[in-house]
Structure 1
Amino acid sequence: MARRSGSADLPLHGGRVPAWLGRRMARLGAVITEAIVHHYGREEFLRRLAHPFWFQSFGAVMGMDWHSSGITTSVVGALKHGLAPRAGELGLHVCGGRGSHSRQTPHELVAIGDRVGFDGAALAKASRLVAKVDSAAVQDGFDLYLHGFIVTDDGKWVVVQQGMNGASRLARRYHWLSADLKSFVETPHAAIDGRNQGKIINLTDRRAAASRQGQLDLLADLGPDLIVREVARLEGKEPVPLLPHLVMPVHHDVRPKDVILRRLHGALAAASESGPTDFADLLLVPGVGARTVRSLAMVAEVVHGAPCRFADPARFSLAHGGKDRHPYAVPTRVLDETIGVLKSALASARLGNDEKLEAIRRLDHQARALEGRAMGPSFEAFTAEEFRRSPDYGGRSVFGWEPRSNGAPQKGTR
């Protein structure tokens, strides 16, 4: 049965991902995906994508805006470009996208099905039905404009789609996960018949205008899943599990209240204590420094962390910054080193040597062990130091390269 697995409300932002960041997001997204598949399998990666909090953290650790609507488009696009060369080996295929790309999803599914052997026509129908449910059946005021369909060689899939509400300046993201798809409704009706029980409710009547508007307001404010849960409670039925619903703040800057500081301190301590022993001799990637190991600790959590670890997606923006300089400019040299370390570890793993990947896993384990007692800088001190060192790290944003304190431009890379 296919089921919605969660949703997210995000501030609606315009703009595009610059090419220099898009290329890096595609590479980092691909290596994180491969690491998850290596450790836990393809279906676990689909479950991660179906969780709105993890999805937001995944986008934030790649250097995208940590809270805005653009994170959905950029993550789906990064995966589509980054995984395409490895689709045959990983057995993962990303279809659809934004606007006109979303309408190509059924054709892409049929073509992939012909190539790898699953029923592409059936999955094309599933794609259309999921889109129809969130656009027509759930009339919450959000018009769909993005539909991403990620499918495995054996026909398991996840859908991530997003709609916008121009009046409220919000976007709403919907997550769906397949599990032995049979029907999109619990008990479909062929017909309804019965004796007259009195007055019926006709919401198309002009006198029901206030009721119609009230229902739309409830859907927009609370979301359909919370309403279903409340109806079940009033009717004395078994409580409906409340699906994860992420609500991101309107403010664009990352603030101390957006970050669970003890978890940040755990990652910093793990990088400081584990880094010298696990990385200096083992990884042997030229140029890897302490700053990169700190980012790797956060990437390791995205790969290995349990769902409860992603309650504060903003924390993962502290790994590689953000394209709009929130919390600081993207440290491109650190980001490139992070990608290099992960690619090196995965290359060794493909040859049967897991030691490098295990070193990264130990970073995550150590961070969790230390976070209860680790001490570290305040949020303000941490971000101030990142801004100060940004030119050394190749800091770049949509506004350009971060200048040095003496005003001299830094030497940039692509």
Structure 2
Amino acid sequence: MARRAGSADLPLHSGRVPAWLGSRMARLGAVVTEAIVHHYGREEFLRRLAHPFWFQSFGAVMGMDWHSSGITTSVIGALKRGLGPLSGELGIHVCGGRGSHSRKTPQELTAIGERVGFDGEMLAKASRLVAKVDSAAVQDGFDLYLHGFIVTDDGKWVVVQQGMNGESRLARRYHWLSEDLKSFVEAPHVAIDGKNQGEIVNLTDRRAEASRRGQLDLLRDLGPDRIAREAATLDGRGKTPAPPEAPFLPHLVMPAHHDVRPKDVMIRRLHGALAAAADRGPADFSELLLVPGVGARTVRSLAMVAEVVHGAPCRFADPARFSLAHGGKDRHPYPVPLKVYDETIGVLKSAIGQAKLGNDERLDAIRRLDDQTRRLERTATGPSLPAFITDERRRSHDYGGRSVFGWEPPPAEAEDGTGSAGS
């Protein structure tokens, strides 16, 4: 039986992903997907998408705002663009999206089903039902505005959808996974992300089975008009006792502050990644390190990307840490280092290309980075988080730093205020 796996608070953020970042997110998302599928298979990739902690970390390593609701829209969009050309090879298809794109999901599923051979009409029905359950059966104050449906050639799927609450300025993300799903109306979620907003009407809870039957009986025996009169009569007479609390689940809190603070990062894991990059870089990426001023920095990013590919679920409790790979579009924790970002994509694409030819040496080098990170994080030391971020900002111009505010100027120009802000 599918189950709930956790929750999170996601502050609502406005703004758009700039084209220079969006295109890179599509490429990085595609190559990370290829690496996961190569090592662990398509079903494991679906399981990752269904894990709210991993999903947030995946968006953060792409350079999106690490704590905000915008990660959901941007990750689904990036995967749709990046995996589209690879759908025939990988057997993974991304449907839906935000707003009007979400309403096209059933038609997309039907068309893909006709092309690859699964029952597209059945999955289109599943898409509609999933949306109905989260918008009507789970009445938690969040209005759905995004619906992403990712399906494989053999008909397995994951749904990631999100609703917003304008008054609280929060979003809630819902994850569904077809694996082990026996019912759409009884405890179907893998996870629901979001802060508790008070009393919630959740007719998908196992404890609501009697309520679901009772509502059908009432509708059949009394009719809607009499039900409305009875409800008006009962109004104001007090509430029924609340159901027992559900078992404790992990709760990921995405704070309102945009900057990355020490409390947001497990520093020992950051130090482990830095130490692993220094230890494995010269041995495994010697050609890469010939690029002055960029290569060693890229290996540090690769260590964090390697964790996204290989890490266990418990490794993603601090999504902010993954923003330290490629920064953020709004300059938090620092501008996106485009030279590093592009080199990361290049190394991963080269490794995947070699693996397709039967040579796993480069992909294995990336996996060794992740293995070494876990071994070294128990003993490794390094800079404090503020010192690390300060140094990264100081070097930002050399790394091709860019944000929605423009290119990063050289340090001297930044200090005297003469730097350009053009984008």
Give TM class, smaller chain: 0.7 to 0.9
Question: Where does residue 155 of structure 1 map in the other structure?
Answer: 155
Question: Where does residue 132 of structure 2 map in the other structure?
Answer: 132
Where do residues 18-57 of structure 1 align in structure 2 (5 Å cutoff)? 18-57=18-57
Judge conservation of contact 1:203–1:211 (CA < 8 Å) in 2: no
Question: Where does residue 246 of structure 1 map in the other structure?
Answer: 252
Judge conservation of contact 1:142–1:164 (CA < 8 Å) in 2: yes
Kindly tell me: are residues 203 and 46 of structure 1, through their superposed partners in 2, closer, same or farther at Cα, counting changes over 3 Å?
Answer: farther
Question: Where does residue 179 of structure 2 map in the other structure?
Answer: 179
Kindly tell me: are residues 185 and 386 of structure 1, through their superposed partners in 2, closer, same or farther at Cα, counting changes over 3 Å?
Answer: same
Counterparts of 1:180 and 1:208, CA distance in 2? 40
Where do residues 180-329 of structure 1 align in structure 2 (5 Å cutoff)? 180-186=180-186, 189=213, 192=217, 204-205=231-232, 208=235, 230-231=244-245, 240=247, 242-281=248-287, 289-329=295-335
Counterparts of 1:192 and 1:285, CA distance in 2? 74
Counterparts of 2:257 and 2:273, CA distance in 1? 25
Counterparts of 1:134 and 1:340, CA distance in 2? 39
Where do residues 5-154 of structure 1 align in structure 2 (5 Å cutoff)? 5-154=5-154
Counterparts of 1:88 and 1:185, CA distance in 2? 33
Judge conservation of contact 2:282–2:289 (CA < 8 Å) in 1: no
Deviations 1:239-287 (A, max 9, x none): x5x5544221111111000000000000000000110001115x69967
In the alignment, structure 1 residue 398 sits paired with structure 2 residue 404? yes
Look up the SS of the partner of 1:324 in the other structure. coil
Judge conservation of contact 1:254–1:327 (CA < 8 Å) in 2: yes
TM-score (norm 1): 0.87
Question: Where does residue 196 of structure 1 map in the other structure?
Answer: none
Question: Where does residue 363 of structure 1 map in the other structure?
Answer: 369
Counterparts of 2:274 and 2:291, CA distance in 1? 21
Kindly tell me: are residues 379 and 132 of structure 1, through their superposed partners in 2, closer, same or farther at Cα, counting changes over 3 Å?
Answer: same
Counterparts of 2:170 and 2:357, CA distance in 1? 46
Judge conservation of contact 1:2–1:184 (CA < 8 Å) in 2: no
Shift of 1:377: 0.3
Judge conservation of contact 2:147–2:159 (CA < 8 Å) in 1: yes
Shift of 1:406: 3.0
Deviations 1:118-162 (A, max 9, x none): 111111111111111111111110000000000010011000000
Judge conservation of contact 2:406–2:421 (CA < 8 Å) in 1: no
Kindly tell me: are residues 205 and 21 of structure 1, through their superposed partners in 2, closer, same or farther at Cα, counting changes over 3 Å?
Answer: same
Kindly tell me: are residues 354 and 103 of structure 1, through their superposed partners in 2, closer, same or farther at Cα, counting changes over 3 Å?
Answer: same
In the alignment, structure 1 residue 331 sits paired with structure 2 residue 337? yes
Judge conservation of contact 1:112–1:120 (CA < 8 Å) in 2: yes
Judge conservation of contact 1:5–1:176 (CA < 8 Å) in 2: no
Look up the SS of the partner of 2:89 in the other structure. helix
Deviations 1:340-370 (A, max 9, x none): 0000000000000000000000000000000
In the alignment, structure 1 residue 389 sits paired with structure 2 residue 395? yes
Counterparts of 1:210 and 1:351, CA distance in 2? 71
Counterparts of 1:325 and 1:294, CA distance in 2? 19
Judge conservation of contact 2:2–2:181 (CA < 8 Å) in 1: yes
TM-score (norm 2): 0.85
- One-letter code of the match for 2:410? R
- One-letter code of the match for 2:150? I
Deviations 1:158-213 (A, max 9, x none): 000000000000000011111254431346749659xxxxxx9x99336536967x
Counterparts of 2:19 and 2:6, CA distance in 1? 30
Kindly tell me: are residues 285 and 389 of structure 1, through their superposed partners in 2, closer, same or farther at Cα, counting changes over 3 Å?
Answer: closer
Counterparts of 2:407 and 2:145, CA distance in 1? 32
Shift of 1:3: 5.1
* Identical aligned residues as a percent: 77
- One-letter code of the match for 1:204? A
Judge conservation of contact 1:403–1:410 (CA < 8 Å) in 2: yes
Kindly tell me: are residues 210 and 277 of structure 1, through their superposed partners in 2, closer, same or farther at Cα, counting changes over 3 Å?
Answer: farther
Deviations 1:79-103 (A, max 9, x none): 0000000001000000000000000
- One-letter code of the match for 2:161? Q
Question: Where does residue 344 of structure 1 map in the other structure?
Answer: 350
- One-letter code of the match for 2:96? G
Specify every segment of 5 or more residues in structure 2 that has no aligned partner in the other structure, as ranges: 187-208, 219-226
Judge conservation of contact 1:297–1:363 (CA < 8 Å) in 2: yes
Question: Where does residue 190 of structure 2 map in the other structure?
Answer: none
Judge conservation of contact 1:98–1:146 (CA < 8 Å) in 2: yes
Kindly tell me: are residues 4 and 154 of structure 1, through their superposed partners in 2, closer, same or farther at Cα, counting changes over 3 Å?
Answer: farther
Look up the SS of the partner of 1:406 in the other structure. helix
